[in-house]
Amino acid sequence: MMWVLRALCPMAVLPILMPAPAAAQASYDAAARIFRLDGGDVTYAFKVNATGILQSVYWGRRLPDRAPLAAPELSGLSGFDVAANVVPQEYAGQGGGLYAEPALKVTYADGNRDLVLYYRSHEVRGDEVRVTLSDLDRPLFVTLTYRIDRSTGVIARSAVIENRGATDVRVDQAAAAGYTLPVAYDYRLHYSTGRWAAEWTLQDRALTAGSTVLESRRGSTGSQNNPWFTITRGDTTEENGPAWIGALAWSGSWRMTFDQDVTGRIRVTGGYNPFDFAYRLRPGARLETPTFFTGFSDRGRGGASRLFHRFQREHVLPHHGGDLPPLRKVLYNSWEATEFKVDEAGQLALAERAAKLGVERFVMDDGWFGQRNSDKAGLGDWTVNPAKFPRGLTPLIDRVKALGMDFGLWVEPEMINADSDLYRAHPDWVMGFKERPRTEGRNQLVLNLARTDVRDHVLAVLDKLVSENDIAFLKWDYNRNWSEPGWPDADVADQQTIYVAYVRNLYWIIDELRKRHPGLEIESCSGGGGRVDLGIMARTDQVWPSDNTDPFDRMLIQDGFTQAYAPAAMMAWVTDSPNWVNRRQTTLSFRFLSAMQGGLGIGTNLNKWGDTEMATARYYVASYKRVRETVQRGDLYRLNRANAADQRWTNLYVAADRSQAALFTLVGSTNKLDVMPTINLRGLDPDAQYRIEAMDGTALPATVPARASGAYWMNHGVDVTLRGDFQGMGMILTRVR
Ligand code: DGJ
């Protein structure tokens, strides 16, 4: 089963900062019937209650080994709220009078829709617990898997539902897991909302009686909500107090619900979205859910983010044989410069200039294939356009490589334009209902990847492209959501399994492609940040958070993104000013300081840059290369997060071994003669000496000493006052031996 994305190896990649973790353990106390998982600074416990129901006991800061973990036996509150609603169930079946959110809801062929899941057996091995439940009298089995990561305490939970009966069962709703937080009335839910070019808008709301639903009904992850949350208490701050964080590893329609139940507990349930969902389980068949990852930190939202970032670096993002994911190369992308007007000469001219800046990867975006002169045609025809590249791609790739860069190419393999040879040959490969119109988005239709012939075709095309050309990187785009999600060739009772089969086949294609081309790196892009989740991140090396490349909007976008996801995967480009999205004008320095906080890319029209811009850019690219390991593999401290009144961000990245820190402070606007607040750094070695310098090579203000101890930088802090609109400063602190 896909519970974790990469094998959970014992930690040890960051030996200096992290104390050796206490041995992780999963255990079962047979007398109390309590399961306990410990990892990092986290304990998670649940029990089999007196009636045989699996009940949540504890999820929070690590408890002493022999701490009493007794949990009360709960019964109904009144005739209106029977036990099913009062017992915080680990995995609730829809039945037995449950009104709270179920984890699993089924319908039997005879019409029975009552499901009550009882504990049957378990297995405890290493860091993992498996518990098997089944219905009170029907042979429907659910195996829950819990695994805890020994260094971060991140828990991975998923479920496998199995029909061991003789007749079909329809699964109407299936979650990966349910989590419970104790009774309290000051919980807050943090999550993100968005839309194209405006992803990752942070929301913060009280969790009170009633439900909050985060979801995508779109067939893919979506940016309207991202499958991530953090829950805090009223007194939690950025760096202190409890924070529970979670994310689903699924790139299809998903749902998370947050309910305060009748007792005041918070129940979190997440998995497949029940919207339009129906999954027939024939006798003997199984359905595996996505994995729901969760973490806990008592170091506030910052601590929870850092924990998740580290987990993603160590266990989610592809490692390509190393201890950690390879560092992101500085890339150039042609999209904003040329859009669909690509040809060999134009791309070569851009490549020559990109190489002069220190760019390491040249990516040709949309427009190189089929009859792709606009977004109206060509998708599906993944052969080089002979008018634009009469000699094929090889001469361009060879020159790019001679210039010291590797070559990347844009593809959008799941999509098709009606005006394409592929559509003319296979109109039936498209998702839709028979004899019904199909809604187009960006003039394109979605290929039904759930079909094995379509799946195999997509793999074959990509395999050929990568085999025949020296391609190091694919930017894998996906520019619309589903509509009319029909699969007319399948049996009617199986048609809605498209929600599962499509995504599983997508994962299969990427996995197979990577297996055949082990060095190949991939970016997940969905018109920006429409497909960012732990499922796709396990298979792709980087993600594109937004098509919005305005550096000021980006600070908000990146702040939202990094609440859950690692800067190691977050690409950010320097593009033209004024920016195409909002016409905002910014300096080149400001654009670099914003984009250097993830994987740096340049997406501007380099032909328009004069010597001054080229020299500035070359300097920043060199500075970025000095700090990128710290940015991508270090700890991110959000020292000052922007709000409406104070458009100022100060982000600090501290290297795993504390030998370096990269400090970025940016403002949207300054007023009067206001002096900016002192910046108190975090995470440095208090006893070590650190030298400080500006990233652009200019002198720092006289208020900043050239060198001081970690304790000085953290306690006295750095005083830098910026003046004007869209100003920023980057600083590098280097530990002096
Ligand atoms: C949407 C992406 O987000 C852009 O970066 C670009 O690749 C276009 N698609 C190309 O069509």
Per the structure block, which two tokens stand in for 494? 């199986």
d(CA 624, CA 595): 10
**For 533-560, how does the pLDDT look when each residue is reduced to its tens digit (9 = 90+)?**
999 999 999 999 999 999 999 999 999 9
From ligand 1's centre to the CA of 331, what distance in Å?
Answer: 15
**For 613-649, how does the pLDDT look when each residue is reduced to its tens digit (9 = 90+)?**
999 999 999 999 999 999 999 999 999 876 656 788 9
pLDDT at 6: 42
Helix (H) or strand (E) holding 85: helix 83-86
**Residue pair 175/152 in contact by the 8 Å Cβ criterion:** no
Q: DSSP code of 577?
A: S
Nearest CA to ligand 1 atom 9: 527
Helix (H) or strand (E) holding 399: helix 394-402
* Residue in 321, 348, 322 with CA at minimum distance from that of residue 334: 348
pLDDT at 645: 65
- DSSP β-bridge partners for residue 174: 104
Separation of CA 465 from chain center: 27
Nearest CA to ligand 1 atom 4: 527
Nearest CA to ligand 1 atom 5: 547
Whether the per-residue pLDDT at 20 is higher than 80: the answer is no
Nearest CA to ligand 1 atom 11: 366
* Pocket residues: Cβ below 6 A from ligand 1: 335, 365-366, 410, 477, 479, 525, 527-528, 544, 547
Of ligand 1's listed atoms, the one at least distance from the Cα of 527 is 3
Q: ∠398-351-378 over CA atoms, to 5°? A: 80
pLDDT at 352: 98
Which band of pLDDT confidence, cut at 50, 70 and 90, is reported for residue 230?
Answer: very high
**Residue pair 230/190 in contact by the 8 Å Cβ criterion:** yes
Counts of helices then strands in the chain (DSSP H, E)? 13, 36
Nearest CA to ligand 1 atom 10: 366
Of ligand 1's listed atoms, the one at least distance from the Cα of 475 is 7
d(CA 671, CA 723): 8
Q: DSSP code of 395?
A: H
From ligand 1's centre to the CA of 516, what distance in Å?
Answer: 26
C-alpha distances in Å from residue 253, one per residue of 65, 294, 435: 40, 19, 25
Burial of 363 (C-beta count, 10 Å sphere; 0-12/13-18/19+): buried
d(CA 146, CA 141): 16
Whether the per-residue pLDDT at 5 is higher than 90: the answer is no
Which band of pLDDT confidence, cut at 50, 70 and 90, is reported for residue 18?
Answer: very low
**For 311-326, how does the pLDDT look when each residue is reduced to its tens digit (9 = 90+)?**
999 999 999 999 999 9
Average pLDDT score over the chain: 95
From ligand 1's centre to the CA of 15, what distance in Å?
Answer: 40
pLDDT at 3: 34
From ligand 1's centre to the CA of 410, what distance in Å?
Answer: 8
pLDDT at 644: 55
Whether the per-residue pLDDT at 23 is higher than 70: the answer is no
- Residue 149's CB is within 10 A of a number of other CB atoms, namely 28
Q: Pick from 442, 547, 575 the residue to mutate for probing ligand 1's pocket: most ligand atoms within 8 Å of its CB.
A: 547
Q: 């009335």: which residue's tokens?
A: 185
**Residue pair 78/315 in contact by the 8 Å Cβ criterion:** no
pLDDT at 22: 52
**For 384-433, how does the pLDDT look when each residue is reduced to its tens digit (9 = 90+)?**
999 999 999 999 999 999 999 999 999 999 999 999 999 999 999 999 99
**For 47-77, how does the pLDDT look when each residue is reduced to its tens digit (9 = 90+)?**
999 999 999 999 999 999 999 997 888 889 9
Within 13 A of 61's CA, how many CA atoms are on the CB side?
9
- DSSP β-bridge partners for residue 362: 332, 407
368-382: average pLDDT: 98
First to last CA, the chain: 48
- With a CB cutoff of 8 Å and minimum separation 6, the contacts of 427 are none
Nearest CA to ligand 1 atom 3: 527
Nearest CA to ligand 1 atom 6: 335
**Residue pair 717/680 in contact by the 8 Å Cβ criterion:** yes
* Residue in 409, 411, 403 with CA at minimum distance from that of residue 359: 403
Cα dihedral across residues 416, 420, 422, 428: positive or negative: positive
- Residue 284's CB is within 10 A of a number of other CB atoms, namely 10
From ligand 1's centre to the CA of 446, what distance in Å?
Answer: 16
From ligand 1's centre to the CA of 336, what distance in Å?
Answer: 9
d(CA 713, CA 350): 42
- With a CB cutoff of 8 Å and minimum separation 6, the contacts of 137 are none
d(CA 319, CA 420): 37
d(CA 709, CA 655): 16
From ligand 1's centre to the CA of 530, what distance in Å?
Answer: 12
Cα dihedral across residues 500, 506, 511, 515: positive or negative: positive
**Residue pair 116/93 in contact by the 8 Å Cβ criterion:** yes
d(CA 627, CA 359): 15
Which band of pLDDT confidence, cut at 50, 70 and 90, is reported for residue 140?
Answer: very high
Which band of pLDDT confidence, cut at 50, 70 and 90, is reported for residue 674?
Answer: confident
Q: Specify the long-range contacts of residues 18-25, CB closer than 8 Å, at least 24 apart.
A: 18/151, 21/150, 21/151, 22/62, 23/150, 24/126, 24/127, 24/148, 24/149, 24/150, 25/127
d(CA 384, CA 371): 9
Q: Pick from 365, 475, 579 the residue to mutate for probing ligand 1's pocket: most ligand atoms within 8 Å of its CB.
A: 365
From ligand 1's centre to the CA of 451, what distance in Å?
Answer: 26
pLDDT at 73: 87
C-alpha distances in Å from residue 611, one per residue of 291, 361, 463, 616, 618: 51, 22, 41, 9, 10
C-alpha distances in Å from residue 525, one per residue of 248, 319, 342, 537: 18, 20, 20, 11
**Residue pair 243/231 in contact by the 8 Å Cβ criterion:** yes
From ligand 1's centre to the CA of 259, what distance in Å?
Answer: 37
C-alpha distances in Å from residue 40, one per residue of 63, 179, 181, 621: 11, 19, 19, 36
From ligand 1's centre to the CA of 366, what distance in Å?
Answer: 7
Which band of pLDDT confidence, cut at 50, 70 and 90, is reported for residue 11?
Answer: very low
**Residue pair 170/52 in contact by the 8 Å Cβ criterion:** no
Which band of pLDDT confidence, cut at 50, 70 and 90, is reported for residue 24?
Answer: low
Nearest CA to ligand 1 atom 1: 527
**Residue pair 239/300 in contact by the 8 Å Cβ criterion:** yes
Active site residues: 477, 547
**For 71-100, how does the pLDDT look when each residue is reduced to its tens digit (9 = 90+)?**
888 889 999 999 999 999 999 999 999 999
Whether the per-residue pLDDT at 10 is higher than 70: the answer is no
Of ligand 1's listed atoms, the one at least distance from the Cα of 544 is 3
Which band of pLDDT confidence, cut at 50, 70 and 90, is reported for residue 1?
Answer: very low
**Residue pair 103/93 in contact by the 8 Å Cβ criterion:** yes
Per the structure block, which two tokens stand in for 507? 């994962």
Q: DSSP code of 429?
A: G
pLDDT at 641: 77
Separation of CA 192 from chain center: 12
pLDDT at 431: 98
Of ligand 1's listed atoms, the one at least distance from the Cα of 525 is 3
Q: Pick from 334, 479, 554, 581 the residue to mutate for probing ligand 1's pocket: most ligand atoms within 8 Å of its CB.
A: 479
Q: DSSP code of 315?
A: I
Q: pTM for this one?
A: 0.96
From ligand 1's centre to the CA of 527, what distance in Å?
Answer: 5
Q: Pick from 379, 525, 548, 579 the residue to mutate for probing ligand 1's pocket: most ligand atoms within 8 Å of its CB.
A: 525
d(CA 661, CA 654): 4
* Residue in 660, 699, 715 with CA at minimum distance from that of residue 17: 660
Beta strands in 104-253 (DSSP E): 104-108, 117-125, 128-135, 140-148, 155-163, 169-181, 188-193, 201-206, 210-216, 228-232, 243-249
Of ligand 1's listed atoms, the one at least distance from the Cα of 547 is 3
